[in-house]
Amino acid sequence: MSPIAVTSPNEPLRNLKQCAAAATPGLSTETCDALSFQGRVRAMIFGGAFGDALGAVIEKMTHQEIKDMYGKVTHLDVPWWRETQDAVRRKGRVRGRGIITDDTLMTICLMSVYCTEERHLDAWDVARGIIREVVWTPRYIPEMQRETMLQERLWYAEKWLFMRHQMTNCDPRQGGIGNQVNCGAAMYIAPIGAVNAGNPRAAYSEAIHFASAHQESYGLEAAGVLAAAVAAAFVPGTTVDDIVEVAIAVAHDGTKAAIVAIVEAARAMIGAPYDDVVVKFHEVIAKYSYTGDDIDYTIDKAGVPSQAYRPSRFNSIEELPLAFGFAITNKGEFYGSIIDGVNSGRDTDSIGVMIGCFLGPLHGASVIEKQHLDMLNSANHFDLLSNADAFGKVARKIQAEDEEEIHKVLQARKQLA
């Protein structure tokens, strides 16, 4: 990653490599206890990146289209379905063979903000930290095959951050108001779950406060619920069912209803043929999601309203419930869950990211296969384990400070009459 060129009024911002050098001198990036906090952080970052790269190859294809072209995508070394299209239709991008999307790059940006601030984050850290990372920090963008600002690559709902926080200087807590309601904030929220490992409600609260600068309605809710699920996944002995129960416990409105509905369907279909599972899941989620199979934005859709622009308490982004569903039908198996999730079609990279981010810490670093890690590092010009270790060290520091604060609170309460 390139050094950050912009400085704050008080101190230089530090990227993850600088943070790693300062915080973890001599730390090996080759070995660690697979089920230690460090090992679980590594698995979370790897899981998200693997799901992202695997799903990016087939994003926006239907389940049937994926079957017709690929059979089933099961590994990273495959070509993108748009690869033979002209550059205009591809928006000048390349994918396939391990290339990740902005979902993983935004996750790395969030980890970098944590490494800079070394504390819990809120909406102001989007307005300051994420904006500096996205708009003013050059980095290698794999899909564009060059170094530039991440802002140039982002989807429109994420470009909204620049418009709201830099161009209009809004109250950071109101930054998400008016944005397209989508899963954009949820896609990079996993580090908040790691910082709050073992405390899902705290993860939910921090994620909601932070992501209110980015999303609203059920798009914001998805970020909070996923952060809670990740926090739960770090607890030793946790199962997929435990993670799902935590998600249901913290969720509200359509998000809660959609998760419950998909989970019920998933538990009834364990062992069923995969195609039948996909059909059933899409049938169930249709009540809560406007998406459907046609998720390309075309000229014919200009000016046509949808549920995405009419937030309702009965709506939910579909990626999060589906991620839980495929984890259940695969009984929590890491690779099987991700593979089934992305091959179901539609917003495939997002589904893959979500599954990887909560199943990674559940299993720990033992799920990291060298061939996949090497391809991800090579294709994207980064070092996932170094990034994970730098962030994990800072997360531990924040957790230690939390424990001190909790002790003070308990001592104060003991003195109350």
Binding site for Mg(2+), residues?
Answer: 101-103, 347, 349-350
| CA–CA distance, 55 with 282 (Å, rounded to integer) | 17
> The dihedral of CA 127, 128, 131, 134: what is its sign?
negative
Q: Are 124 and 148 in contact (CB under 8 A)?
A: no
Nearest-Å Rg of the Cα atoms of the chain is 20
Q: Which residue has the tokens 């495959």?
A: 78
Neighbour count for residue 228 (Cβ, 10 Å): 31
Give the count of alpha carbons within 13 A of 131, CB side only: 24
Which residues carry a binding-site annotation?
Answer: 101-103, 347, 349-350
| CA–CA distance, 311 with 295 (Å, rounded to integer) | 18
> The dihedral of CA 415, 408, 207, 236: what is its sign?
negative
| CA–CA distance, 325 with 245 (Å, rounded to integer) | 12
Q: Are 288 and 316 in contact (CB under 8 A)?
A: yes
| CA–CA distance, 353 with 259 (Å, rounded to integer) | 17
**φ, ψ of residue 147 in degrees (nearest 5):** -90, 130
